[in-house]
Amino acid sequence: MKAATVHELKDELKHRSAAQLVELCNRLARFKKENKELLTYLLFEAHDEEGYKRSVRQEIDLQFSEIPKDNSLYLQKKSVRKILRTANKYIRYTGNKTTEIELLMHFCIQLNQSGIKYQSSTALNNIYEGQLKKVKKLLPALHEDLQYDYLRTLETL
């Protein structure tokens, strides 16, 4: 079965009643955890972006606190990748560039403060540098005042 394009889906959804749309959303939520999480964000958290960012930051902090502090670089790499996957998933839900920048910078700050020697690991250093590149790439899309504030924070990283 070939999936329909977004345009085709949009046109078809316009012709459905409200009850049918509710039923479609319920079926979507049953099939994938990510669909359910996205619906949760859209229905309950999209109106309070600051609260959402705060909760995602707390989740990132919690996951960094659970990273093993021993010299097991393998487990540290695996944990950092998992945290980044989680952060990127939450970033995808918002679609907001400011939120994306703030969460990626928070990830980098937490990686710096975690005590993990990411500079000695090529993989971890590439992850860190990649996030900084993403932030730099997103900055021109923001207002000049925000760009200045984020650039100052970025320089400290």
Q: What is the pLDDT of residue 127?
A: 92
Give residue 147's domain range.
48-156
Q: What is the pLDDT of residue 23?
A: 86
DSSP run (H or E) holding 101: helix 97-113
pLDDT tens sequence across 98-109: 899 999 999 999
Q: Calculate what percentage of the chain has a pLDDT beyond 70.
A: 97
Kindly state whether residue 80 falls inside one of the protein's structural domains: yes
Residues, the chain = 157
pTM recorded for the entire structure: 0.83
Kindly state whether residue 112 falls inside one of the protein's structural domains: yes
Q: What is the pLDDT of residue 157?
A: 67
Kindly state whether residue 23 falls inside one of the protein's structural domains: no
Domain count, the chain: 1
Say if CB 64 and CB 114 are below 8 A apart: yes
Name the average pLDDT for the chain.
86
Q: What is the pLDDT of residue 21?
A: 85
Phi, psi of 151, rounded to the nearest 5 degrees: -65, -40
Give yes or no for residue 95 having a pLDDT over 80.
yes
Query: How many Cα atoms occupy the beta-carbon half-sphere of 4 within 13 Å?
Result: 8
Kindly state whether residue 60 falls inside one of the protein's structural domains: yes
